[in-house]
Structure 1
């Protein structure tokens, strides 16, 4: 468009500013917001304060860095994941904070446990796995039928319960086998086995 206007007047501060000082808006004929970016930010801040909320303060960071709102540190882009849908092309939170947020969300969604409740559960177990009593508990164990949380186990013990399909009879036979007790079934009829008592 050859006759495109190079500047626009902000309807709030009444200054004539270049088009780049205004955010886009498809509704008006010129395709720009009525307020300049500075006035729009100030207006937003005032509206938030009127509602009893606090508006996030913009913090300037160096080129190639982004500030994480959770840990409040400016980190290089190498510590962020890409996100095409965001305005700057990077995720909202750094990798470390995002992983922590996902972990908290997972435990809340799957088991109904908040971080405080999970820490309390581990503390009740004296900070060790309920089964082996030596390894660090990192995996929440639950009943697959009822969904009830039973405790927090180490990876090996949690995997073992999964391999035994949470069947106590199989676990008892496995314990007897490890202890050296004879447990081999006796063939009584074709396809029918009798287990030792």
Structure 2
């Protein structure tokens, strides 16, 4: 921020005066590094916006809160600070206790994404379950079973492959996604398919022609 701007500030379009730079919040996205409005009008505009969205004024504890304690607005209870999740805010803790914090998070995920699972998938992988299922026709990509529920991804790159049923997803996990192992398993299955072979009229013998290991004559 230029020294001249730090000293003189700038004109606030809301109150139409020239307050010093100290009366503006910082905003790195703006060229001058200062918010568009000075602090007092900015606070009034923020409050008005919250009221239009149906958000009431913040609740305050009726009684003073002692050292090492914190008040939860949702429960209207004073609890030890350890019962509040850690946060980067100045107090070092979130405003609501852990049960209320988690309940609010689930409610927000339900409202914005339709559920916590959809929110998790979009936050971690950048794609939603409904979108993938639509592309797959609502079935498992491998087995074709209906209503797959297990998202499969490449553990090396983190890229999402698709949504699979429990058995197909577990199979890939057991083979660690190694294509050579999967190819070996396919070769093995094809080579050990025991078949009935006619050796005399009305007489059959079980053998596996692919592997070339007919069973013992005693079998």
TM norm structure 2:
0.40
**Which of structures 1 and 2 has the bigger CA Rg?**
2
TM-score relative to the length of structure 1? 0.44
